[in-house]
Amino acid sequence: MSDTAAAVDSKTGSAVVTDGGGEPAETLRNYVGGEWVAVEGGDAIEDRNPANGAVLARVPLSGSADVESAVRAAREAQPAWRDVPPPRRARALFELRALLDAHRDELAALVTRDMGKTTADAFGEVGRGIESIEAASAIPHLLKGENLEGIAAGLDIEMVRQPVGVVAAITPFNFPAMIPLWFLPFAVACGNTFVLKPSEQDPLVSVRIFDLIDREKIFPPGVVNLVHGAHDAVNALLASDGVDAISFVGSARTARYISSTAAANGKRAQALGGAKNAMVVMPDADPALMSNGILSSAFGAAGQRCLAGSLLVLVGDEVQQGRSLRRITEAAGKLKVGDGADPAVDVCPLVSVAARERIEAEIEAALEEGATLALDGRIDGGAGGAELGPTILDDARPDSPAVTEELFGPVLTVLRAESLERAIELVNSSRYGNATAIFTSSGGAARTYRYGVEAGMVGVNVGVPAPVAWFPFSGWKDSIDGDLHANGTDAIDFYTRKKVVTSRWE
């Protein structure tokens, strides 16, 4: 492809992505100890624009020596960074916030080019990432401990929070701006130093954020570090004695691997995994609210969200169920599929041709097992070969992957329930428990649902209960391995160790 868009900044050697010009794709560099450094070990893979297949950059696959040098830089920087008073660490975050705010449009455009999602969606993701910086900026308050004067005669007791040390974050492809920013601000605010391993499928926005941090010298060298790579880099982080804690977001399978290996290696871990989110439609749902919520949840970002609604549970009698389904199917059929950079497009391409092929194979398998198509979105891939339109599957077998597993594409599977109680049973039978939503005009039904449903995030007349940085974010069951969620005060608990001091001074 000729419209390759990775121009290389002469100082950093890292990609600063522009609007084309045909430069050959360059190999990205790691950011270690405040310098952009070439990766020594391993091969490189191509990072492509999903909308047209253009190669944007070559992503080097770091080996253990590359990872270890980043961990060493973080380790060396940590004692001095811990000594920086929390209000001054907060001020660094104010600067980071202002810097990213000034580059919102550019960062959003980069997310679209590298991951594929629509510009509006990308803008939202960058905004939510910036909100995590805002939330972490309250660190002088958030780090406060507890005390009790006179726990016994002449004896005082206090609990203080201290940083864990060096923390790593391993992040997925689907939110390349927001998810690294779930972790970096809170980790460094707590006095830790940080190593990011972004998704090898779309690392360019992380590169640009680190580039901005580097140019403005937001942090002392070594406080934040970036390593590119895939499994070997992750395994090196898991094996490194220099890493104290790991934040992970990705598929359920990888989450289980990360959490079990981290535990075996004596590391603290939070591993947020995959999802199969159900959206329940009651017969009294407001039609417009319901259809807008369901469409954006099922087909926004082409279903590539951990919050994507991929199961539609229609409650009521046959006539009521049929009415809701017709409305959703008709509206979904009108969604425009194409390049996320086109403002008229609703459904972006999948992240890669391989992802489209995998999801189409899942659709075929469901059809072979007796499922029917209420809406067929198979459109031969479009310009870059990665497009798949909104697809609605009906009559799928209850044990088929279309019902039980995350397909991570624009595929909505229909289930039916005669009552709300049966709907809750169906939803709770999933091994996942990330997010869910109910559409209803009844406060009583909404309350019964939110009380009984097993999920970490619940939307009431809201399709996608998006992460809000001041609240903990994660699912339940197989959607997380670990106890502490991302963001909110859970982030402070994860990134600090508690110490209880008992004193007598008489």
Binders of ligand NAD among 45-64, rule CB under 6 A?
Answer: none
Nearer to ligand NAD, 347 or 435 (CB): 435
Select the residue interacting with ligand NAD from 36, 173, 186, 449 (CB under 6 A). Answer: 173
Token pair belonging to 198: 């972004």
| Sign of the four-CA dihedral 341, 301, 116, 199 | positive
Based on the shown chain and the rule CB under 6 A, indicate whether residue 170 belongs to the binding site for ligand NAD: yes
d(CA 354, CA 358): 6
Select the residue interacting with ligand NAD from 272, 285, 301, 437 (CB under 6 A). Answer: 272
Please, is 285 exposed, middle or buried when counting C-beta atoms within 10 Å of its C-beta (0-12, 13-18, 19+)? buried
On whether the CB atoms of residues 3 and 52 are closer than 8 A, the answer is: yes
Contacts of 334 (CB under 8 A, 6+ apart): none
d(CA 271, CA 478): 10
Based on the shown chain and the rule CB under 6 A, indicate whether residue 489 belongs to the binding site for ligand NAD: no
| Sign of the four-CA dihedral 485, 95, 200, 386 | positive
Select the residue interacting with ligand NAD from 185, 274, 338, 349 (CB under 6 A). Answer: 274
- Report DSSP state, residue 302: G
DSSP string, 213-253: HHHHT-S-TTSEEE---SHHHHHHHHH-TT--EEEEES-HH
d(CA 190, CA 185): 9
Select the residue interacting with ligand NAD from 7, 55, 99, 230 (CB under 6 A). Answer: 230
Binders of ligand NAD among 413-442, rule CB under 6 A?
Answer: 434
Reduced to 3 states, what is the DSSP secondary structure of residue 271? Answer: strand
d(CA 454, CA 223): 38
Binders of ligand NAD among 240-259, rule CB under 6 A?
Answer: 249-251, 254, 257
Reduced to 3 states, what is the DSSP secondary structure of residue 40? Answer: coil
Identify whether 348 is a catalytic site residue.
Answer: no
Q: Which strands form 435-439's sheet, in the order they lie side by side?
A: 372-375, 391-394, 411-417, 309-315, 277-281, 435-439, 457-460
Region from 228-236, 320-328, 423-431, 494-502 binding ligand NAD, contact rule CB under 6 A: 228-236
Based on the shown chain and the rule CB under 6 A, indicate whether residue 37 belongs to the binding site for ligand NAD: no
Q: Which helix (H) or strand (E) holds 372?
A: strand 372-375
Select the residue interacting with ligand NAD from 11, 141, 144, 231 (CB under 6 A). Answer: 231
Select the residue interacting with ligand NAD from 50, 172, 176, 459 (CB under 6 A). Answer: 172
Nearer to ligand NAD, 71 or 170 (CB): 170
Work out the number of other CB atoms within 10 angstroms of the CB of residue 238.
Answer: 22
Q: Write each residue from 286 to 325 as x if it is in contact with ligand NAD (CB under 6 A), else as -, in one continuous string.
A: --------------------x-------------------
Catalytic residue (choose from 44, 122, 258, 306): 306
CB of 110 to ligand NAD, least distance (A): 17
On whether the CB atoms of residues 133 and 181 are closer than 8 A, the answer is: yes
CB of 496 to ligand NAD, least distance (A): 21
CB of 14 to ligand NAD, least distance (A): 18
Select the residue interacting with ligand NAD from 116, 129, 180, 475 (CB under 6 A). Answer: 475
Based on the shown chain and the rule CB under 6 A, indicate whether residue 362 belongs to the binding site for ligand NAD: no
Number of residues that bind ligand NAD (CB under 6 A): 28
Residue labelled with tokens 């995998």: 358
Render the burial of 444-480: b for 16+ CB within 10 Å, e for the rest: ebbebbeeebebbbbbeebbbbbbebeebbbbebbbb
CB of 211 to ligand NAD, least distance (A): 20
Nearer to ligand NAD, 192 or 434 (CB): 434
d(CA 79, CA 83): 6
Based on the shown chain and the rule CB under 6 A, indicate whether residue 275 belongs to the binding site for ligand NAD: yes
Select the residue interacting with ligand NAD from 174, 193, 206, 296 (CB under 6 A). Answer: 174
Based on the shown chain and the rule CB under 6 A, indicate whether residue 196 belongs to the binding site for ligand NAD: no
First to last CA, the chain: 77
Integer angstrom CA distances of residue 264 from 49, 267, 399, 483: 38, 8, 33, 16
Nearer to ligand NAD, 50 or 475 (CB): 475
Region from 124-132, 227-235, 396-404, 437-445 binding ligand NAD, contact rule CB under 6 A: 227-235
Based on the shown chain and the rule CB under 6 A, indicate whether residue 115 belongs to the binding site for ligand NAD: no
Region from 36-44, 108-116, 271-279, 339-347 binding ligand NAD, contact rule CB under 6 A: 271-279
Based on the shown chain and the rule CB under 6 A, indicate whether residue 234 belongs to the binding site for ligand NAD: yes
Integer angstrom CA distances of residue 414 from 235, 242, 328: 39, 48, 11
Region from 69-77, 266-274, 320-328, 415-423 binding ligand NAD, contact rule CB under 6 A: 266-274
Contacts of 155 (CB under 8 A, 6+ apart): 502, 503, 504
Select the residue interacting with ligand NAD from 219, 299, 408, 449 (CB under 6 A). Answer: 408
Q: Which residue is nearest to ligand NAD (CB)?
A: 250
Region from 27-35, 87-95, 267-275, 282-290 binding ligand NAD, contact rule CB under 6 A: 267-275
On whether the CB atoms of residues 312 and 426 are closer than 8 A, the answer is: no
Based on the shown chain and the rule CB under 6 A, indicate whether residue 200 belongs to the binding site for ligand NAD: yes
Q: Which residues are catalytic?
A: 306
Contacts with ligand NAD, residue ranges (CB under 6 A): 170-175, 197, 199-200, 230-231, 234, 249-251, 254, 257, 272-275, 306, 406, 408, 434, 474-475, 479
